[in-house]
Structure 1
Amino acid sequence: MWKKLEHWFETALFASRWILAPFYVGLIAALLLLLVVFVRTFLGAVPEALTMTVEVAILKVLTLLDLALAANLILVVILAGYESFVSKIDTEGHEDRPGWMGTTTFSGLKLKLYASIVAISGIQLLKLFMGIGQKPVDGHDLMWATIIHFAFVVTAVLSALTDYLSARGSKSSSG
């Protein structure tokens, strides 16, 4: 009887991974929202293209780049998260299958997330710096944006270092 109860419990635990599927559907919807904002931002810039200054053009492009990086981040989380925690995606042999799919570990996913967050934060900071002179920028806000970006960088580096040391330690203990 206990064996049967244990088997039922373990089967239910394993099946519970499917509770994550609606989260990934929600992230697909968030990706569509970013697409709408991207298109709206791009189309809004087109009529101004012949008259905008270089600084304004760079700020608009940085905004588009920021949206693209955020979309990439969402896609990586959707694909790698689904494959890591829910089910393998049957795309074996498909010519467009990204090389990292099916090979990204949780540690690798975490590092991709940190790298994307640092890149997005860096673009936000660059946009803030680029905006200096066009509109008043509070030095206090600039200081905090720089500190937060630096915190993201340090977190990413420490996480990478921790993963490296952990992998190195597990190799030396097993071999």
Structure 2
Amino acid sequence: MTQSTLQTLKIEAITGENFAPYGDLVLPSQDGKPFDETDAKLDLSQGTPRFYIMQLQKRGKRFHKITRHQLCTQCLGALEGKSWLLAVAPPSSNSKPDVSQLKAFQIPGNCFIKLHKGTWHAGPYFEEDEIINFYNLELSDTNEVDHFSYDFLTEENLIWEMTT
């Protein structure tokens, strides 16, 4: 068996502007603020929305699978103010993500992200030894009927590592 190639992906601090091709960054706002361009633009019209807390254990900074959901937007955020990592590539009609646009972001624990429909994503990732709780808003059957993955290891013998 041949040894896999390790490809690095530089971690960027997330901003609304640099995350725009992949989704929305939603920051805290005053209660009662009217809906505007700073809010998440959700599309959960293709089924029953599911909002839940998922518990994840230490996941490190390496990945070889990346997934997309084409029927709905997805929102992710960490509870307890924890920072985390996410790798993303923009939506496309291809069965493989465009690695020239693959980015890794560090997401602080005081906000959440909304992924555009079809955005390729790997994560959440983090290196803490403790369990971190993440809230997730998607459709009730997203993981059964709208879960399309690309495996870099199987297809290209490649593993990605997010680095600072």
- Shorter chain as denominator, the TM-score bin is under 0.3
TM-score by length of 2: 0.22
Q: Which has the higher contact order (CA 8 A, sep 6+)?
A: 2
Q: Name the structure where helix makes up a greater proportion of residues.
A: 1
TM-score by length of 1: 0.21
Q: Name the structure where strand makes up a greater proportion of residues.
A: 2
